[in-house]
Structure 1
Amino acid sequence: MYGEREIKNGTLICFPNPNTSRDYEISIDFPEFTCKCPFSGYPDFATLRVKYQPNTKVLELKAIKLYLNSFRERKISHEEVTNKIIDDFIKVSDPKWIQLEADFNPRGNVHTTIRVCHGKRNNLELIL
C-alpha cells in the first residue's frame, strides 16, 4: 500500500535554517503517536511535544510524520521510544537545544509522561 511504503522508506531529513543569526524556537505536536507495549503487545497512544532551537538545520515536517508512524507496530517501552526519537532528531539536525515530551494516555489507571532534553536553551524574550 502507498502509505505503508512511504512510512517504510521514510527517513528524517532537514533543510537549511533560513535564519542562523537569530535564536528562535520551533514547537511541534503529534497527538496521534502509537507504538506497542513490549510486554503485552497492546497499543500505547501518546501525544508527543517537540520544542527545539535549530542550529544550522530545521527538521522537515512530513519526514517527521513518516518517521513517527514507523513506530506504530513496534514493541518498545515508553522510556526507550522517547530516548530513541530524541537521539535520532539530534543525529540529523544537531539543534542548539531540544526537548521531547511523550505524554502517554492512561492505561490500567497509570498515566506516564517522559520528558528528555539535550543542549542548552537560549532564553528568548517575547513581547506580545
Structure 2
Amino acid sequence: MKYGEKEILDFDINAKENYWDNNNPKNYTIDIELPEFMCKCPRSGYPDFATIKLSYCPDKKVIELKALKIYINSFMNRYISHEDSANEIFDTLSKNMKPRWIKVVADYNPRGNVHTVITVDSRV
C-alpha cells in the first residue's frame, strides 16, 4: 500500500485537529476550488470527475486545507452519485465547522453528452 492510500484510509474528517479556530470576528468569505475530485458511478462503476467549489463564511472554525484535500481524495474509490457526493460534502463540513453559511458546487465533467452541476447552499 502506498503512503497516500494509507493516509486516506486512516483519515477521519470529523477529527478536531482538522478544524482550526477562527480568530477573526468579521464576516468574510473563504473560496476553495478542488479540481481533481473523483468518485465512481454507483450504477456503472465508471469514474466521474468534477471540480468541487466550496465557499463559506466561517464562524468559530475553519477547515485545515490538507484535511480538506485528503477528505476529497477519499471519494476516489467510492461508488456514490453526483447528488449524494455533493450533499455529503456539504453535510460533513456544515456539521463540523458550523459556518455562518456554506455553499458546495460539484461541477462534473460531461459524460455521455451530459454535464451535471450540483449546488447545495445553506442560504437557499
Q: Same fold (TM over 0.5)?
A: yes
Aligned to 2:58: 54
Unmatched segments (≥5 aa) in structure 2: none
Runs (5+) with no aligned partner, structure 1: 121-128
Shift of 1:119: 4.8
2:86 paired residue number: 82
How far is the alpha carbon of 1:11 from its aligned partner? 2.5
Note the alpha carbon deviations across 1:30-85, whole angstroms, 9 max, x for none. Answer: 00000000010000000000000000000110001101111001000000110001
Pick the structure with more strand per residue: 1
Distance 2:122 2:84 in 1: 16
Length, aligned pairs only: 119
The aligned residue for residue 30 of structure 1 is 34
C-alpha contact (below 8 Å) 1:15/1:58 kept by paired residues:
yes
Structure-1-length-normalised TM-score: 0.90
Does the residue aligned with 1:111 lie in a helix, a strand or coil? coil
2:68 is matched with 64
**Runs of 4+ off more than 3 Å:** none
Partner residue of 1:126? Answer: none
Asked whether the equivalents of residues 96 and 119 of structure 1 are also in contact (C-alpha less than 8 Å), the reply is no
Q: Report what 1:14 is aligned to.
A: 19
Tell me the SS of whatever aligns to 1:24.
coil
**AA matched with 2:119:** R
CA distance in structure 1 between the aligned counterparts of 2:21 and 2:102, rounded to whole angstroms: 17
In the superposition, the TM-score normalised over structure 2's length comes to: 0.93
Deviation at 1:18, TM superposition (A): 2.1
CA distance in 2, matches of 1:25, 1:3: 30
Q: What is aligned with 1:4?
A: 5
Aligned equivalents of 2:96 and 2:123: distance in 1? Answer: 15
